[in-house]
Amino acid sequence: MTSDQGIQFTPEGKLKHFLTIEGLSKSLLTEILEVAESFASVSEQQVKKFPLLRGKTIINLFFENSTRTRTTFDLAATRLSADVLNMDISTSATSKGETLLDTIHNLEAMHIDMFVVRHAVSGAAHFIAQHVAPNISVINAGDGQHAHPTQAMLDMFTIRRFKKDFSQLKVAIVGDILHSRVARSQIQALNILGVLAVHVIAPKTLLPAQAESLGVKVFYDMKQGLEGVDVIIMLRLQKERMTGALLPTESEYYKCYGLTEEKLEFAKQDAIVMHPGPINRGVEIASEVADGMKSVILKQVSYGIAVRMAIMSMTMQATGNRE
Ligand code: CP
């Protein structure tokens, strides 16, 4: 068990922080999906509120840009009746040299119940979880190249909604696997939930060393990798994390690995197309595919609210009533 996994639970075995998928049990992932299912219908109701986190204060602490994750965490917390504060890091005292821990301790002094953290450094959320008071939960909203566990869970929720039985599924993840925290968390979740196979499709330069040890089959060719798959997950080129030239040109990349309607034909007829976003049209995916009948990309965004409501309510239950 890694230190991430150990720190996530209370001594009674309840999920207190959500930092990584690695090492979590199939039954816990299934419980998260089922709790999320119970919240999913709320978004369609006129009154979109549950009183579960009434009186609790949550801070969204995003040191990196975000559209989907930050907004859906904000909506999830609001729908659970929590008070939410979105910290604007660009105008916070971190720009005056305050350390991460000093920022955290100052916010803690305001009687916070949960931090939702995105940071460019791998391990940042874990570091914060190690240093906060025992009654505070920390949720990892993406740390460096390491993990994006709530994204992986909303992706699992989307797959389950459209495909039902994980054990019969072949899932392809295409693109910049090397720099992708999303891919890492997705691969872990898919293997824990027991899919038939995970294919990763990428040029050698965008694959981690010994990629097979992650529990995947590696393909360098879209035709071979997409053959017979039920789910295709496209990834963006994470240029902000690339050092040096890993690709010839974007147009060359698109020619080989961009998902076009022609390449989509290699997968099963009823395959769905996913992407965690942000998408780069004409780089990793054609507009006709992103906006096409098989795309569930915007469904992923919608389901993110219910899944984040589930994870927030479950972790908050573990830290208990602290009045
Ligand atoms: N999928 C994802 O993490 O998107 P954002 O960067 O917009 O949060």
| pLDDT over 50 (residue 1) | no
Residues 118 and 213 in one domain: no
Say if residue 31 is in the same domain as residue 159: no
CA angle 151, 157, 162 (to 5 degrees): 130
For ligand 1, atom 5, the nearest C-alpha belongs to: 66
Residue-number span of the structural domain to which 272 is assigned: 149-300
Query: Residue 3: its pLDDT value, please?
Result: 55
Q: What is the pLDDT of residue 247?
A: 72
In a domain, 256, yes or no: yes
* 208 shares its domain with 232: yes
Please state the rounded mean pLDDT for residues 220-247.
88
Cis before 278? omega within 30: yes
Question: 68 and 88, same structural domain?
Answer: yes
Which range is least confidently modeled, 8-17, 37-46, 55-64, 147-156? 37-46
Same structural domain for residues 143 and 169? no
Condensed to tens digits (0 to 9), the pLDDT of residues 209-229 reads: 999 999 999 999 999 999 999
Same domain (yes/no): 82, 121: yes
CA of 69 to the centre of ligand 1 (A): 5
Strands 57-62 and 83-87: parallel
Residue 323 within any structural domain of the chain: no
Q: How confident is the model at residue 244 (pLDDT cuts 50, 70, 90)?
A: low
Ligand 1 centre from 273 Cα, in Å? 17
240 and 186 both lie in a single domain: yes
Do 160 and 250 share a domain, yes or no? yes
* Residue with the two structure tokens 């729908």: 79
pLDDT of 312 above 50: yes
Tell whether 194 is covered by a domain. Answer: yes
Number of domains composing the chain: 2
Q: Is the CB of 276 under 6 A from ligand 1?
A: yes
Query: Is there a domain that residue 30 lies in?
Result: yes
CB 276 within 8 A of CB 149: no
Q: Which atom of ligand 1 is nearest to the CA of 65?
A: 6
Residue 242 CB burial class (10 angstroms; 0-12, 13-18, ≥19): middle
323 Cα to the center of ligand 1, angstroms: 34
CATH number, position 20:
3.40.50.1370
- One domain, residues 131 and 154: no
Please give the Cα distance from 148 to 170 (Å, whole number).
21
Q: In terms of domains, do 156 and 143 share one?
A: no
- Kindly state whether residues 153 and 63 are assigned to the same domain: no
Do 54 and 118 lie in one domain? The reply is yes
pLDDT at residue number 239: 75
